[in-house]
Amino acid sequence: MSTQAWSREELVRAEALARGLSSAAPVFAVRAPGRVNLIGEHTDYSGLPVLPIAIDRSTVAVVSARSDRAIQLANADPAYPARSFALAPEIPPYPPGDWANYVKAAVQGVLTHFSARGIPIDRFLGATFVIDGRVPAAAGLSSSAALTVASALGLMAVNGLELSPREAAAMVARSEWYVGTMAGGMDQAVSLMARQDHAVLIEFNPLRATEVPMPAGAAVVVADSLEVADKSGRVREEYNRRVVECSLAARILGRAFGIDGATILGDIVNQLGNWRADDIVQTLTAIIPERFTGGIAQAAEFLEIPEPELRSALLGEGAARSTLDESRPLECLRRARHVLSETERVHRAVKALSEGRLDEMGGLMDESHRSLRDDFEVSTERLDRMVECARRAGAYGARLTGAGFGGCMIALADAAKSPAILAALERDYYATLAPDAAARALHATMRAGPGASLIRLR
């Protein structure tokens, strides 16, 4: 276990947290970074590629085993109250929005994963965690994945269990469904598999990661809009709505192309092999209305399958069923156009970055933003303003990053230009919000950092 991935500051944080643990059992420390996505937005849950970097903001947790079967949680930030719950085959969640649900998700994920592989749940030891998360929350930087990854690695460590980063990523990605977001697997994968000074091309089904070196002299500027994308409320509904719209598009295309069992756009793309977004969108345009105004019932009629069947497939069953406001039209066509064109952009971006063509990479980021704004409808007036501002100040390109509806903007620039971009954001964006907005908002140049890592402290 090496401290190579750890910054000095993280080690100091871990030592300070460990002083709060009086246990005689071994004490482990784990760091798990947040991430920012360069390109490939709202593609992961369609099983299509993404290109994020891990950032140098992380969640650090210390953990030691307990003799009982409880998970005890303390958080360095008083905004997150202490929590305690028991290991069980089915751990009931706290009310939506409770921070500790991300830990419960991880614990449930670990128990389910290993019990399916012959390690009974009653053999697991409980654990005391002390957690210090420094990835800004609700900003689209994956503070939740950092917490979930740190918790999963911590619980495994005290129980003497290990997984490869890839296996752990697949396990943790599945477990985040516990919190009711139908998210793809990008965040956990990059938090676990990132490498310093590299972006990571993440592909799904099966999960795999390819490192793409970041060109020397390129700067990634990340700036928080201070518009809170509340992932446990309205924004979650908007997010899940898009998951449904994309899946419907995939089912319809599956029928058109004779691809049995297609449920995500990735199924279509993988089967077609050689494809162009424009062609697939044309096919779709020829067969479906601009939008479904009659909700799932209309889509079921169109697909010639019973409505209850489609409803369960799209929204889940019983208590786990997610809600969908069907008085609003379902926008399958435009959503698919975004996802498919974005997938093409990801592949072009990998080439552009590997060959050091930052100008081209910036252009792809600009296109991505337009597509997210117009077809995916996840941008906001404020994010649009920030993106404009960064471009005017000399960025190669800029876009919203993360799920949207607020959160962060990302810009790609020459390292020499990033101070001017940050200054322009302060002057032309933050100053228009409130006198202290710039002081409150994360806005910084970020370096691609390493993935999660666990060490034994004592």
Q: Indicate the SS3 state at residue 101.
A: helix
Residue 202, beta-bridge partner list: 50, 209
276's CB contacts (< 8 A; 6+ apart) are 344
What is the pairing mode between strands 70-75 and 218-224? unpaired
Residue 347 CB, shortest distance to ligand NG1, in Å, is 16
Residue 198, beta-bridge partner list: 213
Q: Residue 343, interface with ligand NG1 (CB under 6 A)?
A: no
Strand order in the sheet with 83-86: 83-86, 70-75, 126-133, 51-66, 27-39, 453-456
d(CA 216, CA 356): 8
Q: Residue 342, interface with ligand NG1 (CB under 6 A)?
A: no
**In this structure, are residues 316 and 322 in contact, taking their beta carbons and an 8 Å threshold?**
yes
Q: Which of 61, 169, 183, 386 binds ligand NG1 (CB under 6 A)?
A: 183
Site size for ligand NG1 (CB under 6 A): 16
Angle CA 303–238–382, to nearest 5: 135
Q: Indicate the SS3 state at residue 210.
A: strand
Q: Residue 181, interface with ligand NG1 (CB under 6 A)?
A: yes
Q: Residue 341, interface with ligand NG1 (CB under 6 A)?
A: no
Site string for ligand NG1, 346-375 (x = CB under 6 A): ------------------------------
Quick one: which segment of 178-186, 279-287, 305-313, 448-456 binds ligand NG1 (CB under 6 A)?
178-186
**In this structure, are residues 107 and 87 in contact, taking their beta carbons and an 8 Å threshold?**
yes
Residue 40 CB, shortest distance to ligand NG1, in Å, is 7
Q: Which of 14, 62, 153, 186 binds ligand NG1 (CB under 6 A)?
A: 186
3's CB contacts (< 8 A; 6+ apart) are 11, 453, 455
Q: Residue 133, interface with ligand NG1 (CB under 6 A)?
A: no
Quick one: which segment of 42-50, 55-63, 263-271, 319-327 binds ligand NG1 (CB under 6 A)?
42-50
d(CA 152, CA 167): 12
Quick one: which segment of 39-47, 203-211, 217-225, 323-331 binds ligand NG1 (CB under 6 A)?
39-47
Site string for ligand NG1, 396-415 (x = CB under 6 A): ------xx---x--------
- Is there a catalytic annotation at residue 187? yes
Q: Indicate the SS3 state at residue 265.
A: helix
Q: Which of 6, 28, 45, 302 binds ligand NG1 (CB under 6 A)?
A: 45
Given the residues 44, 132, 187, 375, the one annotated as active site: 187
What is the pairing mode between strands 27-39 and 453-456? antiparallel
Q: Residue 42, interface with ligand NG1 (CB under 6 A)?
A: yes
Q: Which of 64, 101, 144, 175 binds ligand NG1 (CB under 6 A)?
A: 144
Give the interface with ligand NG1 as residue ranges (CB under 6 A): 41-42, 44-45, 140, 142, 144, 176, 181, 183-184, 186-187, 402-403, 407
Residue positions annotated with a catalytic role: 187
